[in-house]
Structure 1
Amino acid sequence: MQCPCCYSTQTFKNGFRKGRQCYKCKQCGRQFLESYQAWCYSNDVKQLCLKMHLKGMSLREIERATDIHHTTILHWLRKAKLDLDGIANT
């Protein structure tokens, strides 16, 4: 294993996180995983949540219906507003 921070090969196993092996660098002390997986939702799911909000559902109601945290949905709403403001200003 090679440290993604200092590129040292002096690493050791350091437990598990969500079923994946963790490693720790002896040089810089950084803890890291062997491989990373991007955590993202599809655009269809984002659009569905935005439509639910436009139809009057609260963020907490959408969270209960979709199992997506309400702050994630709030970030999507803010980004959509910024995108719309950018389109309107051009």
Structure 2
Amino acid sequence: MTSLSQTQRQYLRKIAHDLKPFVHIGKHGLSDTLFSSAEIALDAHELIKVKFYDFKDQKREIAQELAERTRAELIYLIGNTAILYRRQPDDTKRKIHLPRT
């Protein structure tokens, strides 16, 4: 995935503001089920929130690993919530159109 500009990141943060978390990281941490749930959510929505209930002291590392394994980009990490984005490769299914930089 190409690196996003600051303008595009701000745009995605703005869109994500009203989203509810799709993926929850609890006592089981990073599991295969969690990765498949994140994949499904990214395929359907492109932009998702991930909520940390456990492993809060490792949230930066876990969010990075989740982004890498799902081929997504970590947009922002605030509090116990991470925002991930993965562009839909099919133009006809794309829901988010990023501003040009």
Is this a same-fold pair by TM over 0.5?
no
Name which structure has the greater RCO, CA cutoff 8 Å, separation 6+. Answer: 2
Which is greater in Rg? 1
Give the TM-score normalised by the residue count of structure 2: 0.26
